[in-house]
Amino acid sequence: MPALGNKLYFNYGGQGPLPTPSLAAISASFATIQELGPFSDNVWPYVNRTVSGLRQRLAAWFGVVPERVAFTENVTSGCVLPLWGLPWQAGDELLVSDAEHYGVVAALEELARRHRLRVTSLAVADLTGDADATAAAVGQRLEAALTPRTRLVVLSHLLWNTGQTMPIAAVAARLAGYPRHPWLLVDAAQSLGSLPVAEAAAAADIYACTGHKWCCGPEGLGAVAVSQRLLEASSPTLIGWRTLEHDGPGAGGGYHRDARRFEVATSCTPLFAGLDSSLQLLEAEGDADARLAAIRRRSSQLWEGLQQMPGIHTLLAVPPPAGLVSFTMADPKGAPLDPEAVVKQLGDRGTWLRTLESPRCLRACTHLVSTAEEVERLLTQLAELIQLSAG
């Protein structure tokens, strides 16, 4: 990964650096397309093989059949495209967790405005304990928040702000037993490439991911796994030639019966080659459980180191279930340090993490390629900044 050669990088939850083999795969794909002719009879078998190969690989990661996987530009479009095609009725309620990303929340608010829906809140951002306690609390709060009008529940698999995981399969099971069987929309931006996702993706109605974060693929390509019942109920919303079962005269309304009905038009085929390469590199490091264990070794090292530092408070009260570590900093007198200033000072030292606005904190991410030495260097730099703040 060339991006890691001259810096300490802890922003995998924002964008993962592209591995050299994946960059080479993208370049080789561009070259192949030009050699075959970008719009010739000879190019389509190559394009179809590249796209269908990645669809099959992602379906295996998701634990679903390939017919339930659609390609999108990013996680937000993966959430929104199937969502807007559902048969909403005025007065339906959208139960949205208080830890969702602003982009998805904005889309839900616009959906509610247009269809006269009601948005309600499910509190999960304050859950900072272990997995069992978190799952129990989510179950209790979900039970209390559901009403006869609830038609959709929105819950991320791995919360992007606190780093907590949500019991998606258990939530899906509870909703299946509820009279109206509300849809379950899962923002999986932080999940694919960091957590085992098959159980959750197979259980959700919409499980939307991106390839450019923990998968370390190129930006501009994501995927969504949709349930069979959603395919039967949701209509395409943004329609193009890839939506159609037959691309030709009289094709209007003849949409794909599978998840391809949520694909639109021309995509950049080399991105598919690049993401496929990155996924293969991850697979070579072990199965999903083994990869998560490696990620957690470094995030636990960081979390435990932060516990020893006066002035630092981690959002989670237990070691992180994945690779996200969020925390606040204060000077020796207890005055909060400005997260933006901390990020700037660390960046001047060649170390990169990010700030979050809600809650206002810093977030560092560890991945498979993060080393124990890098984590120790970050801890040392944070301690130095606290000391410098003392004046």
Summarised one tens digit per residue, pLDDT across range 219-251 is: 999 999 999 999 999 999 899 999 998 876 765
Lowest mean pLDDT among 9-13, 22-26, 331-335: 331-335
The mean pLDDT of 361-381, rounded to a whole number, is 98
Hey, what long-range contacts does 252-260 have (CB within 8 A, 24 or more apart)?
257/231, 258/67, 258/68, 258/231, 259/67, 259/68, 259/69, 259/70, 259/224, 259/225, 259/226, 259/231, 260/70
The pLDDT, as a whole number, for residue 246 is 81
Q: At residue 160, does pLDDT exceed 80?
A: yes
Q: Considering the chain, what is the average pLDDT of its residues?
A: 96
* Alpha carbon distance 58, 77 (integer Å): 17
Q: Could you tell me the two tokens for 279? A: 């996924």
Give the type of residue at 254.
G
Q: Identify the DSSP state of 67.
A: G
* Of 251 and 186, more confident: 186
Pairing of strands 222-226, 312-314: unpaired
**For residue 365, what pLDDT band results from cuts at 50, 70 and 90?**
very high
* Alpha carbon distance 70, 243 (integer Å): 10
Q: Identify the DSSP state of 4.
A: G
Hey, what long-range contacts does 330-336 have (CB within 8 A, 24 or more apart)?
330/386, 331/386, 331/389, 331/390, 332/386, 332/387, 332/389, 332/390, 333/390
The mean pLDDT of 308-319, rounded to a whole number, is 97
The pLDDT, as a whole number, for residue 390 is 82
Classified as helix, coil or strand, 374 is helix
The pLDDT, as a whole number, for residue 247 is 73
Q: Nearest-CA neighbor of 365 among 203, 216, 176, 163?
A: 163
* Alpha carbon distance 206, 204 (integer Å): 5
The mean pLDDT of 36-43, rounded to a whole number, is 95
The CB-side HSE value for 128 (13 A sphere, CA atoms) comes to 12
Q: At residue 162, does pLDDT exceed 90?
A: yes
The pLDDT, as a whole number, for residue 252 is 61
Lowest mean pLDDT among 100-104, 240-244, 371-375: 240-244
* Alpha carbon distance 49, 46 (integer Å): 5
Give the type of residue at 78.
G
Q: Could you tell me the two tokens for 263? A: 């694909």
**For residue 253, what pLDDT band results from cuts at 50, 70 and 90?**
low
Q: Could you tell me the two tokens for 116? A: 């006269």
| H or E element, residue 174 | helix 168-176
Taking only the tens place, the pLDDT of each residue in 64-93 is 999 999 999 999 999 999 999 999 999 999
